[in-house]
């Protein structure tokens, strides 16, 4: 399974179509993938499992989200004031 994920990550070029977000505005897609990445990391860390599968979400949200948003959310997570449910 890990090999399949690694192969997909190597072939990854841009964010794939997500039927949950069919419109041009990708703000919600950015937000959801950011949350999914940190939820995945938290979940797999708690189980003591390799978090490599979570990299998929990171590679999706990085090109979709403006850098200023990511920096703001990261600082909010560090301060404990992040509005999302992780």
Q: So what's the pLDDT on residue 10?
A: 66
Type and span of the H or E element at 37? helix 27-47
Calpha distance 34→86 (Å, rounded): 10
Q: Provide the residue count of the chain.
A: 86
CATH topology classification for 1-79: Arc Repressor Mutant, subunit A (1.10.10)
Strand extents, DSSP E, 12-75? none
| pLDDT (tens digit per residue) in 28-64 | 889 999 999 999 999 999 999 998 889 989 999 999 9
Q: What is the pTM of this model?
A: 0.78
């Amino acid at each position: 399974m890990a090999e399949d994920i690694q192969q997909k990550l190597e072939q990854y070029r841009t964010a794939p179509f997500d039927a949950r977000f069919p419109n041009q505005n990708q703000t919600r897609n950015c937000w959801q993938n950011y949350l999914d990445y940190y939820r995945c990391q938290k979940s797999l860390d708690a189980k003591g499992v390799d978090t490599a599968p979570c990299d998929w979400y990171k590679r999706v949200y990085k090109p979709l989200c403006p850098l200023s948003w990511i920096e703001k959310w990261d600082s909010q997570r560090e301060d404990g004031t992040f509005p999302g449910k992780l």
